[in-house]
Structure 1
Amino acid sequence: MPGVDAGRLTVVADGQPAGWVRWFQNTWGPVHTSWCWAIAISVFAAHRGKGVGTHAQWRDGGRHDQVLYSILRG
């Protein structure tokens, strides 16, 4: 269930559970000033190689990761 500080969703492909996506706050320095969202994606073996995980990592034509997000967040 999605929450304020963390959450998890089920990935569905062809009407079947295909994995999960989890997000949580991550820190790399002082807790109150140096945090960002981290996203973990797990695709079950039977669904790998079909683009399920790749699709989850791209948005608006580009990959978004912690380094890019932290730079944009300023």
Structure 2
Amino acid sequence: AIFTAVAQEGPEMRLKALAVVSDAPGACPPCGACRQVIFEFGPDATIIFQGPDGLEEIPIARLLPRAFSLG
């Protein structure tokens, strides 16, 4: 979905929030590679996902501390 948005909107597209959805039981945070892509297009984005105790809303910077950046 992120790459489609970038293809349609251009590389300046920025994420504000992103929801991760899965039918798997238990917690479902984004994987490491996805965290990096999310950070690149939304360093201030909020990630919403199913945690062990219900929905969690966490800034991407907290999920990916010390993220790689060219800037």
Higher strand content, 1 or 2: 1
Higher helix content, 1 or 2: 2
* Structure possessing the higher radius of gyration over alpha carbons: 1
